[in-house]
Amino acid sequence: MIMDYNKLLKNKLNQKFYLEETEIVAKNLIGKLFVKKNNSSLLIARITETEAYLDQNDESSHSCKGITNRNKSMFMIGGTLYVYFIYGVHFCVNIVTKDEGKGAAVLIRAAEPLAGIEIMKQNRQIHNFEKLLIGPGNFAKAFNFNKNDDGKSLLSNDIFISDDNYSTEIITTERIGISKSINLQLRFYDRNSKFVSKK
């Protein structure tokens, strides 16, 4: 198990990883390590569940009606964070894909906590380890993501994703919580992980 920050940094995903087709990036992100570091803490989690939101023919994607003040970071270059506020309560963390101006992203729906667990529990105000990072709103809360993080780059040394060659078995399903384009098979999770919102 890799817990050394320098090793995580060495294996950080590069720009090219994020420029691929959104479905590919969403699948490839399963099993990767999400890392967030600040002065006092290092939070690490293994991504277990994602959803792709496309730049074309996807009515449930925020980008489907063009660029607005809310979704503008979704149109930035692949590898950018798109963080939005939803239902007056929660933030959701997305990873922008493809080239600048497209409007495609991958929603992080769940992850397995690996480091900084006490801080995640504090942020969530719960003690249940199993459910710390289950659900997009919960993932964002545990990592203390908010509007300030919208538009940040994942190529930085503070927030990034790292590859430790973890092997996964990807299951593909319909997405959760949407009312349009519901038939698209754009949700992905690791069959062998118990840290998934819904099997």
Applying CB under 7 A, the residues found at the interface with DNA are: 51, 53, 60-63, 65, 68-71, 74, 85-90, 92, 94, 105, 107, 124, 126, 131, 134-139, 175-180, 197
**Least spacing, CB of residue 74 vs DNA, in Å:** 7
CA proximity to 111, closest of 48, 170, 69: 48
Closer Cβ to DNA, 32 or 37, answer by number: 32
**Least spacing, CB of residue 153 vs DNA, in Å:** 19
First to last CA, the chain: 26
**Least spacing, CB of residue 126 vs DNA, in Å:** 7
DSSP 179: S
**Least spacing, CB of residue 60 vs DNA, in Å:** 5
Q: The dihedral of CA 143, 144, 150, 151: what is its sign?
A: negative
Closer Cβ to DNA, 106 or 159, answer by number: 106
Closer Cβ to DNA, 48 or 61, answer by number: 61
Closer Cβ to DNA, 55 or 163, answer by number: 55
**Least spacing, CB of residue 123 vs DNA, in Å:** 11
Residue 58, φ and ψ in degrees, nearest 5:
-140, 95
Q: Is 89 exposed, middle or buried (0-12, 13-18, 19+ CB in 10 A)?
A: exposed
CA proximity to 94, closest of 102, 104, 86, 83: 83
CA proximity to 29, closest of 136, 143, 161, 194: 161
CA proximity to 188, closest of 27, 32, 45: 27
Closer Cβ to DNA, 31 or 135, answer by number: 135
3-class SS of residue 75: helix
